[in-house]
Structure 1
Amino acid sequence: MRLRNVLAATAVAAGVLSAAVPAAAHPGAQSRHPAQHQPSWRMVHTGGGQFRGLAAVNSRVAWVAGVGGVVLRTTDGGRDWQTVSPPNAADLEFRDIEATDAYHAVALSIGPGEASRILVTDDGGAHWTTAFRNTDPNAFYDCTAFYDRWHGLAMSDPVDGRFRILSTADGGHHWRVLPAAGMPPAQSGEAGFAASGTCLVTIGRAAFLASGGGAVSRVYRSDDLGRHWRYAGTSVPSSASAGIFSLAFHDPRHGVAVGGDFANPDAAPNGAAVTADGGRSWTGVDGPGQYRSGAAFVDRRTVLAVGPTGSDVSTDGGRSWTRFDDGSFDAVQCAHRSCWASGVGGRIAVLDR
């Protein structure tokens, strides 16, 4: 999303960088289960920059990507981080990175025209190849997602009235634009939010795309590798700076959508929704109560949400939430029950449960 990305970066950069404090000290925090043992973030990296791109592979391997074309990788659970940035990438802003292991990763930079690019590495970042360079001035790519090691999608804000979808079948080395006929018309002003790399996600053979900016926030679903899509509206408020920023699914039927208004991060009434029928319908919930840019399932019922004002956990599949941290994060991902978060100030953390 074009102007929204600039504003979102400003809003998140102003987020609180304080260490975690008990939710009870903050009256605005959701705390419906105060007696429960709460998780906590353990910081494994701090410094300059902002990492919205995050790929959690397992408890030892993770990648982050962010402003200034920076990419970092760890293979020892976050004790050490190697800078594996692509050469000559200082002008790029990575908002998403997808990785299958310690060696193969696909990074997306955002921006109008040729600023939107996809780069791929097969040797842990020692060498990178520019696999896609956007040449359409009307396209602006927000997110990527992979079904497996080889098959993946990338999405752009609407071009000629419809979201544009790229497809790869060789691990991100080559991409093609899918026919627009399979995508329903977009609403006026509708677009995606490049906030955490999770406005587009996959689970099994299903892909889901989240939007805001239009009259109604929507979630789109495809079951044929991105060729055809259908959508459902949600109750998450939508405006030029509001909508759904992140999707998370435990399986193709059960999912959570979180968002809010990045221009007003301290209040997000009805800023979340859940589905139990694969996105055919969505039930609005109170949610964390503040703007959240990332969400991830830890297990079948446990969900995390993060944003510039804190982190929240749900133990009932996203229907109710408890604040457990007030530090700023942009993205969260879990793999094999190991969860990582990243954000402004070069902050990277792992979840202690």
Structure 2
Amino acid sequence: MKRLGILPLVMGLMAAGQAWSAPAIALGDVRQAALVAVARAGDGLVAVGDHGVVALSSDGQHWRQARSVPVDGLLTAVSFIDARQGWAVGHGGVLLHSVDGGQQWTQQASLDGKPVLLSVLFTDACHGLVVGAYGYAARTNDGGATWQALRVGGEGDDFHLNQVFRAADGSLYIAGEAGHAYRSSDQGASWQPLDTGVSGSLWTGIGLRDGRVLLAGMSGRVVLGDARGEHWRLLDSGSREAISAVAELDDGRVVLVGNAGLLALADPALTHFTVSQREDRLNIAALATQSGRLQLFGGAGVIDSLAPDAKATVTSRQAAENARR
């Protein structure tokens, strides 16, 4: 999976084992688990990662482990449609479903071919999509009970599809390998390739509230598209570090996080990024906003909770705690 940042972590964890027969490991402190993805479930957060670990929080400060997860492999992505119902995916075509806010999970039928799944998006209780390595994509119209394979790229394309997300107008986007990106206006039934103007891998994206679309990835690359994905321009993120996650704050500012403790904050017009870096240089794999604060996750677990305007520094206490993880 040719990407830096979160994906070396994901691939390294994948290489550690392929078994899914055992339940998730139980941890004394779930904050120390390797966590690679996070989603909002109502007012709370649900983060997923290695060994089938699912971490839950109602405030971003206090974390507990899910009571029941039937697999012990790597979970790579998670999507909730409300405070109760969500789905998580991992490698080996594994699909998990929760109806109680992430406390307990059941395993749905694995996808044919056991693909490496990298992203999942459900738009309601019935309609969902998964994407993954080597161009794999599928959608469901029955809540994940059955899936139909999709062709996103052209004949023979096997570019990794790294993230699927929804834009403000309801259209769907996929950020992919080697600068490839795609848009669907029919809930994923068909996909239009987009000319982003870049060749480096795009690993994450977001639909901004004003309708525009932002994609980011390798070497600090950020591209901004119009509401239909027809015109794109390259932005200066102020960093060459790989970008793994992006979020929009309530005031319209945009936050990027990534390799080596990168934290970049842009004004709502996206004219300038203010860049800072954690002293411990921990790779940040996932990002969420909670109660006006940024929640950061990665191979070191729940890395930090900080105000958006705070410098991405780390106290000596945090450094000592992270060093023990």
Q: TM-score range by the shorter chain?
A: 0.7 to 0.9
Residue 231 (1) aligns with residue 193 (2): yes
**Structure 1 residue 325 displacement after superposition:** 4.2
Q: Secondary structure of the residue that 1:133 maps to in structure 2?
A: coil
The AA in structure 1 aligned to 2:63 is W
Residue of structure 2 equivalent to 1:98: 79
**Structure 1 residue 249 displacement after superposition:** 1.2
CA contact (8 A) 1:55 1:99 kept: yes
CA contact (8 A) 2:204 2:215 kept: yes
Residue of structure 1 equivalent to 2:264: 312
* Gap runs ≥5 in structure 2: 14-28, 309-325
**Structure 1 residue 176 displacement after superposition:** 1.3
Residues 17-49 of structure 1: CA distance to partner in whole angstroms, max 9, x if unpaired? xxxxxxxxxxxxxxxxxxxxxxxxxxxx98433
Residue of structure 1 equivalent to 2:252: 301
**Structure 1 residue 69 displacement after superposition:** 0.6
**Structure 1 residue 250 displacement after superposition:** 1.2
Matches within 5 A, 1:315-334: 315-326=267-278, 327-334=282-289
Change (3 A) 1:57 1:323: farther
Matches within 5 A, 1:16-95: 47-57=31-41, 60-75=43-58, 77-84=59-66, 86-90=68-72, 92-95=73-76
Change (3 A) 1:67 1:9: same
Residue of structure 2 equivalent to 1:117: 94
Q: Secondary structure of the residue that 1:278 maps to in structure 2?
A: coil
340, 344, 353: which one pairs with 2:295? 340
The AA in structure 2 aligned to 1:273 is V
Count, aligned residues: 287
Matches within 5 A, 1:276-291: 276-289=226-239, 290-291=241-242
Matches within 5 A, 1:262-273: 268=219, 271-273=221-223
CA contact (8 A) 2:81 2:122 kept: no
CA contact (8 A) 1:54 1:341 kept: no
**Structure 1 residue 73 displacement after superposition:** 0.8
Change (3 A) 1:330 1:12: farther
CA contact (8 A) 1:296 1:303 kept: yes
* Gap runs ≥5 in structure 1: 14-44, 194-198, 261-267
Residue of structure 1 equivalent to 2:323: none
Residues 113-159 of structure 1: CA distance to partner in whole angstroms, max 9, x if unpaired? xx22110011234432212412315x33211112234422111334x
The AA in structure 1 aligned to 2:205 is L
- Judging by fraction of residues, say which structure has more helix: 2
Higher relative contact order (CA 8 A, sep 6+): 1
CA contact (8 A) 2:111 2:147 kept: no
100, 118, 128: which one pairs with 1:142? 118
Distance 1:336 1:281 in 2: 34
Distance 1:233 1:218 in 2: 8
**Structure 1 residue 336 displacement after superposition:** 8.6
TM-score, normalised relative to structure 2: 0.77
Give the RMSD, CA atoms, in angstroms.
Answer: 3.1
The AA in structure 1 aligned to 2:207 is F
Change (3 A) 1:157 1:11: closer
Matches within 5 A, 1:189-268: 190-193=159-162, 199-203=163-167, 204-213=169-178, 217-238=179-200, 243-251=201-209, 253-260=211-218, 268=219
Change (3 A) 1:281 1:328: same
**Structure 1 residue 230 displacement after superposition:** 0.4
